[in-house]
Amino acid sequence: MDRERWGEVDDYITGLFVGEDASLQAALVASRAAGLPPIQVTPPMGKFLQLLARVRGATRILELGTLGGYSTIWLARALPPGGRMITLELLPERAELARVNLDRGGGGGLVEVRVGAAITALAQLVDEGAGPFDLDFIDADKEHNAEYFQRALELTRPGSVIVVDNVVRYGAVVATESRDTAVIGTRRLNEVMAAEPRVSVTELQTVSGKRWDGFALALVLG
Ligand code: SAH
Ligand code: DHB
Ligand code: MG
């Protein structure tokens, strides 16, 4: 079993169920042309996030880490009329490209792309009383994931879901001696989530055209 076959299976699933449309594909083409790294969620994962938002009946969604807005489009399309999404991106040129991609993808009117470090932006959202969000998708730098989770939790309500991407890192997460700052960040996140009584958590490992990774799913309890 190798990455090539994992990608073929993703294509098979995408062809059957996911229906990545022209504007999602255009977002990827534009992102590649702009030199962005191809680290967006896969089409089945994008659809998964969208279905999760719909299962939850999410009307307010928060995302950390926009890149070119690919996952943002998937999530924004789950919103009902009048819904709202805020997505946080460190780099202004990525945020600008994401806005263009979102306008093409139909999510533009409901989505605000905020530029800046997520830690600062999260503090600002708390100050503004911007919550509660029904779904938080944490997918920015992995080093600060514990802080992102704690802040994001303050912006939720019972029944909200928090998804964190990239928690398996090709298995590196179990390397207790790792000096990879992303692995250290993920292990800190996991300790914080495990000790947090306000959430019920699991993590699922995934294989895909990207690589062996996984995501955390946390349900905010009453
Ligand atoms: N969610 C996107 C992929 C995000 S990649 C998708 O699946 O389509 C991670 C993004 O987080 C990158 O664009 C990177 O610039 C951004 N990022 C990195 N550090 C950040 C920080 N401190 N604050 C906000 N965004 C950050
Ligand atoms: C990578 C993948 C991601 O989903 C991400 O958010 C950051 C980095 C990667 O494969 O390097
Ligand atoms: Mg990711």
Chain segment 114-145, per-residue pLDDT in tens: 999 999 999 999 999 999 999 999 999 999 99
Q: Is the pTM of this model over 0.95?
A: yes
Measured CA to CA, the distance from residue 23 to residue 111 in angstroms comes to: 16
Q: Please, what's the b/e burial string for 97-128 (b: 16 or more CB within 10 A of its CB; e: otherwise)? A: bbbbbbebbebbebbebeeeebbebbeebeee
Angle at 65 between CA 63 and CA 66, to 5 degrees: 85
Answer with the residue of higher pLDDT: 106 or 169. 169
Mean pLDDT of the 38-42 span: 97
Cβ burial of 67 (10 Å; 0-12, 13-18, 19+) is buried
Contact predicate 7/45, CB 8 Å: no
Non-local (6+) Cβ contacts of 203 within 8 A are 167, 168, 190, 214, 215, 216, 217
Which amino acids bring their CB within 6 angstroms of ligand 2?
39, 139, 165-166, 210
195 CA → ligand 1 middle, Å: 26
Residue 54 confidence (pLDDT) above 90: yes
Q: Check whether 98 has a pLDDT greater than 80.
A: yes
**Averaged pLDDT, 86-109:** 95
- Which ligand has an atom closest to residue 140 CA? 1
Rounded Cα distance, 194 and 202, in Å: 9
Q: What is the distance between the alpha carbons of residues 139 and 65, in angstroms, rounded to a whole number?
A: 5
Confidence at residue 108, expressed as pLDDT on a 0 to 100 scale? 79
Whether residue 160 has its Cβ less than 6 Å from ligand 1: no
Ligand 1 centre to CA of 63 (Å) is 9
Residue 154 — pLDDT band, cuts 50, 70, 90? very high
CA nearest 112: which of 129, 132, 89?
89
Which pLDDT band holds residue 112 (cuts at 50, 70, 90)? very high
> Residue 69 Cα, ligand 1 centroid: separation in angstroms?
10
CA atoms within 13 A on the CB side of 15: 6
Say what the pLDDT of residue 209 is. 84
Phi, psi of 88 (to 5 degrees): -110, 130
Predicted confidence (pLDDT) at residue 61 exceeds the cutoff of 90: yes
Q: What's the chain's length in residues?
A: 222
Measured from the alpha carbon of residue 143, the closest ligand is 1
Q: What is the pLDDT of residue 10?
A: 95
What's the confidence (pLDDT) of residue 107?
A: 81
> Is residue 1 very low, low, confident or very high in pLDDT (cuts 50, 70, 90)?
low
Nearest CA to ligand 1 atom 6: 40
Q: Which tokens is 52 given?
A: 């999760």
How many CA atoms does the CB half-sphere of 160 hold within 13 Å? 22
CA of 82 to the centre of ligand 2 (A): 31
Beta bridge partner(s), residue 52 = none
Q: Whose CA is nearest to atom 3 of ligand 2?
A: 39
Mean pLDDT of the residues in the chain: 96
Confidence band, pLDDT 50/70/90 cuts, at residue 210: confident
